[in-house]
Structure 1
Amino acid sequence: MAQMADAQSEAGRIGEVIRQARVLQRRSQKDVATALGYHQSKVSRLENGRGTEDVRVLREIAKVLDIPPQRLGLAAAPDASPSDPGTEDMHRRTFLAASVAALAATPTPTMAHHDLIQVLLPGPNPAATGDSSGIDELRERARTVRRLFCTCDYAKLEQALPGLIADLRQVAGGSSGSAEASGLLATTYQTSVSLLLKRADQGNAWLAAGRAMAEAERSGDPVVLAASVRVHAHVLVREKHTAQAVNMVRHTVDQLSGSYDRRSPRYLAAVGLLLLRGATAASRNGDRETTRDFLTEAKEVARYVAFDRPDAWANFSPTNVALHEISAAVSFGDAGIALQTARPLMRRHIPVPERRAALWVEAARAYSQQGRLADGYQALRIAESCAAQDVRRPAVRELVADMAARDRRLALPELHHFSRQLGVPA
């Protein structure tokens, strides 16, 4: 009870800091919400001390209202102390370089990332590897890169993508280029988008999403096109264009929905994943009704299909729907609901490591919202045991740093040690 009272008191304090900063700048709640890409009700809830434990939103509002992160209970920015802009920029680059070095055991991932970006850039087709002589081999390699993503082996994935893209571009762009080759290339670009977003590289994710859409249109396959719309919406959400993402998903789903009992499993999985992306976008936009509508329709689709394996073309199943319900509840600040939904999944085997890790990371966010930092830390360590590379992506590292910053009494030395291990001390 004391912990809960402390958490409520802290939430009220943070809400008042946000309100005062907005009033001092003579800005309306609607103006701030527009800058954030959220609905006005989101800002109102924050000022009333609700949802203030969502560190992603707090970091965004700290930037928009120029609030020092520490005043919102966040880890200080590494470049906050210098006053000279040139010095600030130097420190920022030094910190980023150190962070990359802490995550990479060898220089290979950095080289692979460079190769991936090069193959995404406009220009002549890159040199093919010559490893594949036919569409069957290319199809198998496309399955392999998808499997690498689902098992969170991001280092190997980043190494495999450039060569596959080069080979597929050669086949798809040749005189005998086939619709299937364009579809495989679109799917490989989609996997590239997902990886780049895991790396917090939104700029190049835009590039890959555009290429995915173009190849999907060339393929003429509505399933591939739906998947390309989904990753495009994912990038929009990351860039805070949540309303646009919702509209894009809704428009596409309206053309594909219905007659689910007569559709192929592949078709259903594409529609289901698109609906879940819409739910994520709507929840980030503070729209409960639209979130509920997307999730309800996704549950209907999940009655007819379940792809729940690392080697599947797509990962859609009732389990994935439940995971998105948890994520939506966390976005709304409903930590209790999130954890109640998560508990049955915690006792169930989830075959896809990326999805297992997602469950425990979202649980950690919910525990953090309740001020239960010890439980949040344990959830993160379980996520690490499911997929070590996934826990080392920027979004999770930021969560760990902010949890450590909130442990002002240093009651959890293991949390601070974990934060230092990830290269993001509070």
Structure 2
Amino acid sequence: MQAEGQAMIDRQDLQQARLALGRKLAALRTSRGLIQQALARQVQTTRSTLAMVERGRQVVDRIFWLRCDALLVADGELLAAYDAYRHLQSEFNAQRAEAAQRARWGAVSEVVMTTSDVTARESGDGINRKPQNRSHDEQPETIPSSAARLLAHFRRQLLAPIPLKQTIDPTSLPEVRQRVAQMHSLYQRGNYADTVRALPDTIQQANLLISTCPEAHRNRAAALLAAANLAASKVAVKLGDPSLAWIAADRAARAAADQAEDAALVAAAAFSVGTALLAMPDRNDNAEDVVLSALDRLAQTPHQLGSRALSAQGALTLLAALVAARKDQPAAAERHLNGAHALANRLGTDRNDLWTGFGPTNVTIHRINIAARTDHPQLAIHLGEQLDTSSLPKALMSRRAQVHLDLAAAYACAPENDPAAVLHLLEAERIAPQTMRVHARTRHLIGDLLARERRAVTPGLRALADRAEITA
């Protein structure tokens, strides 16, 4: 834990320490009358590497500094400076890790519900009370009663204690894998009702599989448990319960980190933790810490990232852009979007590894979403006119619908464009009908359109509102 009063270290502190270390090496080399080429040859490196070190762009390993210290007769001065830098770097990493842990565990006492909280809320007329800790975009009063009942059932099932006695028959690894894949497919197709109904049993099967499968398959079973909880976290966010989403995402993170040992899956779990935090009020900084820490861990992965890890990295980078936009930091949001674009180009195509849907098209979809949410409707409309979603994997129906929801919001910024907004809402409903029952921002938009309705130019609006159980 960080000691009381201990100063926080930032990236600029590390950069300054690297610069000082490099300058010390350059000064000693110059005082001995050596050019870079000569010293590089004697310490068995290249001149370009030595130049990078002296400019503070690179640090290299301790053997290099040991050789430099000896050849330049530095009497341990260089080696001590190098060790001091590594200590500073270690403290920086520890502080980042602690900040990420506080972002995750610090949320528990304030926003995460216990099973007893859920039971108390759902007794009597409790399901209709206004839950606490909701973001502006996830106002529960906009959810129709059918969706509220679905969410209440989901809370009961997901937060119920694991039975002491086995209540289901063991299922094989391939069968659980198929069920988990089906859960993610249902979610991505926008079928939230069937996802909610099937998830609790799937998670219970995955839990049981860990205790019954052979030791050699334990990591695979843990990975499936993590993946099942990822689906649960996503649908909880969609239904407007970020606290429940946080619980499921944290379970996924623990299963992935403690048992599955899968860097890409750990990153995907961090994405879900960050998404849940972003959906909570006043948790933008916590979400940012989780996301950036996860990106740092991926950057330190020693081997070449495969498509799964690249997809997780891309999804995290897009989430970082959303966080920056939420914090009103347009330059940071654009930087993250450009970073995601570069990762998508490395990936080369639209994929769905780890159910991220990441690829070039998804980056553009996020650009549209951010533009629509940050009062740049014309940019959102312009990007939407150029977007072709045909290259997305077929399962990503809700992702396609989201584009139309964002474009509807962009068009609705000008009342004369209400007909275009309604057309996009109708298209989103055609693609993923259940979206209209759970997407709070869109439901508010429909209410606003109804308030200024001109039936002659928006003939489909009232029927759409009736189907979504929205009144003016």
Give the equivalent residue in structure 1 for 2:293: 251
Give the equivalent residue in structure 2 for 1:373: 418
Give the equivalent residue in structure 2 for 1:330: 372
- Cα RMSD for the two superposed structures: 3.2
Question: How do 1:229-240 and structure 2 match up within 5 A?
Answer: 229-240=270-281
The reply on whether 1:422 has 2:468 as its aligned counterpart is yes
The CA deviation at 1:410 is: 8.2
Give the equivalent residue in structure 2 for 1:33: none
Note the alpha carbon deviations across 1:8-31, whole angstroms, 9 max, x for none: xxxxxxxxxxxxxxxxxxxxxxxx
The CA deviation at 1:412 is: 3.2
Whether the 8 Å contact between 2:351 and 2:359 is mirrored in structure 1 is no
Give the equivalent residue in structure 1 for 2:432: 387
Aligned AA for 1:368? A
The reply on whether 1:288 has 2:334 as its aligned counterpart is no
Higher RCO, 1 or 2 (CA under 8 Å, sep at least 6)?
1
The CA deviation at 1:124 is: 4.3
Give the equivalent residue in structure 2 for 1:4: none
Fraction of identical pairs, as percent: 26
The reply on whether 1:179 has 2:223 as its aligned counterpart is no
Q: Which shows bigger deviation, 330-339 or 395-404?
A: 395-404
Question: How do 1:10-409 and structure 2 match up within 5 A?
Answer: 99-101=144-146, 110=150, 114=153, 117-124=156-163, 127=166, 129-130=168-169, 132=171, 134-173=172-211, 176=214, 178-218=218-258, 219-240=260-281, 241-257=283-299, 262-305=304-347, 308=350, 313-345=355-387, 348=390, 350=392, 351=394, 352-371=396-415, 372-395=417-440, 396-407=442-453
Whether the 8 Å contact between 1:128 and 1:163 is mirrored in structure 2 is no
The CA deviation at 1:312 is: 6.8
Distance 1:223 1:337 in 2: 33
Q: Which shows bigger deviation, 250-259 or 239-248?
A: 250-259
The CA deviation at 1:128 is: 5.1
Structure 1 residues 126 and 146 mapped into 2: Cα distance closer, same or farther (>3 Å)? Answer: farther
The CA deviation at 1:197 is: 1.2
Between structure 1 and structure 2, the one with the greater Rg is 2
Distance 2:170 2:426 in 1: 39
Distance 2:247 2:456 in 1: 43
The CA deviation at 1:402 is: 2.3
Give the equivalent residue in structure 1 for 2:43: none
- TM-score, normalised with respect to structure 2: 0.63
The CA deviation at 1:196 is: 1.1
Structure 1 residues 347 and 299 mapped into 2: Cα distance closer, same or farther (>3 Å)? Answer: closer
Structure 2 residue runs without a partner (length 5+): 1-124, 132-139
Distance 1:263 1:90 in 2: 47
The CA deviation at 1:115 is: 5.4
Distance 2:213 2:189 in 1: 36
Distance 1:256 1:391 in 2: 36
Structure 1 residues 181 and 331 mapped into 2: Cα distance closer, same or farther (>3 Å)? Answer: same
Distance 1:260 1:360 in 2: 40
Whether the 8 Å contact between 2:284 and 2:326 is mirrored in structure 1 is yes
Distance 2:454 2:302 in 1: 52
How many residue pairs align between the two structures? 331
Whether the 8 Å contact between 1:377 and 1:415 is mirrored in structure 2 is yes
Structure 1 residue runs without a partner (length 5+): 1-86
Whether the 8 Å contact between 2:271 and 2:291 is mirrored in structure 1 is yes
Give the equivalent residue in structure 1 for 2:83: none
Distance 1:347 1:271 in 2: 21
Structure 1 residues 126 and 233 mapped into 2: Cα distance closer, same or farther (>3 Å)? Answer: farther
- Match of 2:169, SS state, is coil
- TM-score, normalised with respect to structure 1: 0.70
The CA deviation at 1:138 is: 1.4
Whether the 8 Å contact between 1:326 and 1:342 is mirrored in structure 2 is yes
Distance 1:349 1:141 in 2: 26
Aligned AA for 1:332? T
